[in-house]
Amino acid sequence: MKSYFFLAIAIIFETVGTAFLNTSEQFTKFLPTAVMAVCYIFSFYFLSHALKVLDVGIAYAIWSGVGIVLITGVGVVIFKQVPDLAAILGIILIVAGVLVINIWSKTA
């Protein structure tokens, strides 16, 4: 269970880092770039701790899938980006894949 806690922290840092990546304007703004870099470092640090127990493929699928959902939410709420129907359907499929892994996979 501790590994899933580390994975959740990694996902949060990755989501915050990606939000700041968007505001860094291709690394031309120092503060957002620095926050993004620190968040990514912490994200990988906590992901590495999750990998002590979780298989890398399973952890990465969860990390990227949940991160996609969260950053899409950040895009909608903060950046006023509206996903189209294809994007929404794709995200639903990603969520379904993460659920399948966590509910039925013996490696999760």
Q: What are 28-74's pLDDT values in tens digits?
A: 999 999 999 999 999 999 999 999 999 999 999 999 999 999 999 99
pTM of the prediction?
0.90
Q: In which residue are the tokens 């501790």 written? A: 2
Using an 8 Å Cβ cutoff, are 23 and 32 in contact? Answer: yes
